[in-house]
Structure 1
Amino acid sequence: MITFSGLARTPPEPVLNADWELRPIDEPATASLQAARTYSVTPAGGGPTALLRVHRVPHHPLHACYPFGAHDLALGLDLSDPGAPGEALAPKLLRAFVSALFAADSECRRIVAAPDESDTATQVVLEAGGFLRVTEADLPDASVVLYAVEPPDIARISTALDDMPH
């Protein structure tokens, strides 16, 4: 049996630049929610609102999908509201939010997202926001597509066999 007691529990609190207004959404304090934070984000000066939920992967169903790190984060993006940012604004928001998460937790090596396999709109936004499609996965309640993004200093490391030290 795997226990996660020694792993980081609460996700970091990102700080966005002046282009965005980030507001935490208060949720009831329960053990399961201690490992997640939800934010409402709007462009500075007003505009469409996006809901973003951040979890630590060890405390999220995605922990069964890949060999995660203790500080990996799972990002949920809700674009279902008719007033949510569209395909032009949402990728800009994702890039800013991801950068802020990496800055808030220097030990985070990967942020993953897992939209439902039929949610092609979110998949398009994730790709435009810098996430790479990794694989499909089956969770207990849904079939999802796994996307991931890594900090630039890690993403630039070559994995080609010719570049590996021998």
Structure 2
Amino acid sequence: MAPLSDTALSDTAPMPPVPALDGGWGLRPTGAPSGPAEHRYLASSGDVPEEFPVRVQRVWQHPLRAAYPMGAHDVVVWLDRSAPDSAAGLLRALTPAVFAVDPRCRRVVAAPDEGDLRTQRVLEDGGFRRIAEADLPGGTVVLFVAEPPGIAGLSTALDDMPH
């Protein structure tokens, strides 16, 4: 079976706009997306005085597509290094919103630089779990993932697999 081309993926899995978020967070679209699978936002909440950039796009448009067995509907979230620690609250609101607009999404991933410990902590506080490191053209990143409860709760133990 031939792998899906980027064109086939963009035809089958465009990135839908993210709806309103819970927790007082808002996303204001900004800038033109680089393709049908990316959205750029400025995130803000009543508790955060400044806005900070956030990008949401399909993994197939990101170098992460080679880092794990990605699905056509998986999404990557990019937080700018300037994102405040309170961005963890944004992630706790954004992740379920992504799963709500695209029930076929299996994972929301993030990949901060290996040395960016603050962003890694924000991701963990935001409900993401660290799963691996990956070498990308720009350097080594740490792969973090959030999954819907129906997937995150599945056991991967060999004894639990059907025989």
TM range (shorter): 0.7 to 0.9
- Cα distance in 2 for partners of 1:18, 1:120 equals 25
Give the match for residue 40 of structure 1. 42
Task: Point out where structure 1 has 5 or more consecutive residues left out of the alignment.
Answer: none
Between the aligned residues of both structures, percent identity stands at: 50
Matched-pair contact (CA < 8 Å) for 1:18–1:44 = no
Q: Secondary structure at the match of 1:95?
A: helix
Encode CA deviations 1:118-140: one digit per residue, 9 max, x unaligned: 11110010111111111111111
- Give the counterpart of 1:156 among 138, 150, 153: 153
Encode CA deviations 1:83-137: one digit per residue, 9 max, x unaligned: x422xx2211111011111111110000111111111110010111111111111
Alignment of 1:8-157 (within 5 A): 8-15=12-19, 16-17=21-22, 19-27=24-32, 32-44=34-46, 47-80=49-82, 84-86=83-85, 89-157=86-154
Q: Secondary structure at the match of 1:125?
A: helix
- Cα distance in 1 for partners of 2:156, 2:140 equals 29
> Structure 1 length as normaliser, TM-score?
0.86
- Cα distance in 2 for partners of 1:21, 1:135 equals 30
Matched-pair contact (CA < 8 Å) for 1:21–1:44 = no
- Cα distance in 1 for partners of 2:30, 2:14 equals 15
CA RMSD of aligned residues (A): 1.9
- Cα distance in 2 for partners of 1:98, 1:79 equals 19
Change in 2 beyond 3 A, CA 1:38/1:101: same
Task: Point out where structure 2 has 5 or more consecutive residues left out of the alignment.
Answer: none
Higher mean Cα deviation, 91-100 or 17-26?
17-26
> Structure 2 length as normaliser, TM-score?
0.87
Matched-pair contact (CA < 8 Å) for 2:23–2:93 = no
